[in-house]
Amino acid sequence: MAILDNKKKNQVVSLGLSAAVLVALVFWNNTNSAANYQYLKNIVPDVQNGKYVFTVAGCANCHTTMGKKSEFVLGGGMAFPTAFGTFYAPNISNSKDHGIGDWTMNDFATALKQGVGPTGEHYFPAFPYTSYRLISDQDLADLWAFWQTLPAEEIASRNHDLKFPFSSRIGLIGWKALYFNEGWVGPDNERRGRYLVESLGHCAECHTPRSFLGGLQQDKWLQGANSLTDKRVVPAITPKTLSWSVSEIMEYLSTGFTPDFDVVGGSMARVVENTSRLSREDLHAIAKYLVNMREKWE
Ligand code: HEC
Ligand code: HEC
């Protein structure tokens, strides 16, 4: 792709999108229209764990009202300038007019697991549902129960400001056909770590390079990327490049200090605000996952 000039690239993008849309319209609609998560109602929710899930998943990192101190006031407004245009985090507080105050648990589950809204609209992957789709039923029910304790914030969401053809949600059907239906990447023997890294912590959303259509390149898992939103390069965190021990990784995720006493910066600083509140067991699981991915790359 590197040898294509920009005009050609755009043509390829449009062509690729249109073709993918056609193929996908047919089978995506057949397979995924009847999302039904009513069974989640049978789970006895644990609100405290829901709060923990909220922290690990970093919902506040993007959705907290701009300029408000509390991470629980989710009026949105944060801008994410990308190559595709600027996305704005919507209001997901419990406001009935501007947020998701009139949603059911089924709506909430469909958004997180399918990237689809209550009126059938497809979400842009700037909302990392591509990772959250792997959330466990218990954690999802707990997160929803915790959501019921959150306040309403009465401000309207801002429209995204996107370039054609990305401005159309229709293209997302094709995008999902290309990038959405992939399973776990990491090894099965690191289940808790894999879950925290690949699903809730959505580490790959920043640390894995993307294709020119913005899909994660699973064959380059955690191999570092140009940040979509800031000028920073997101470092590779594969065992080949990151020589830190399990305890050094745990130290970084809990205090923000690197082994040579550098301090975490950029968008990772907000991630560490979250990981610093995780249990030792979970930090250990994350660090073990990163270190044990060795067999996959070497
Ligand atoms: C990296 C930033 C980011 C993170 C982290 C994030 N979101 Fe979002 N979210 C977005 C963006 C951007 C959109 C808008 C997507 C669109 O318009 O297609 C969105 C949309 C949503 C919507 C749809 C709102 C509507 O009005 O239809 C819900 C619900 C939502 N997010 C919930 C969550 C939850 C729950 C979490 C944590 C588990 C979370 N988000 C984490 C950026 C983020
Ligand atoms: C919002 C984007 C983003 C997310 C999500 C993210 N990271 Fe990072 N990460 C970064 C950036 C940017 C840096 C570089 C920080 C710096 O320059 O100080 C970084 C640095 C790191 C480093 C240090 C690497 C080094 O060589 O210095 C580790 C380890 C790390 N991240 C692990 C994780 C883990 C584990 C997760 C998931 C729980 C995660 N990251 C989620 C953006 C992100």
Ligand lying closest to the C-alpha of residue 242: 2
Angle at 282 between CA 277 and CA 284, to 5 degrees: 115
Q: Give 147-184 pLDDT, tens digit per residue.
A: 999 999 999 999 999 998 888 899 999 999 999 878 89
CA 77 from chain center: how many Å? 17
pLDDT of residue 76: 97
Across the range 258-270, mean pLDDT stands at 94
What percentage of the chain reaches a pLDDT higher than 90? 72
Which of 129, 207, 278 has most ligand 2 atoms within 8 Å of CB, for mutation? 207
Is there a contact between 250 and 291 (Cβ–Cβ < 8 Å)?
Answer: no
Q: Is the dihedral of CA 93, 128, 252, 284 positive or negative?
A: positive
Which of 72, 80, 84, 92 has most ligand 1 atoms within 8 Å of CB, for mutation? 92
| 58 CA distance to ligand 1 middle (Å) | 10
pLDDT of residue 27: 47
Q: For residue 73, is pLDDT > 50?
A: yes
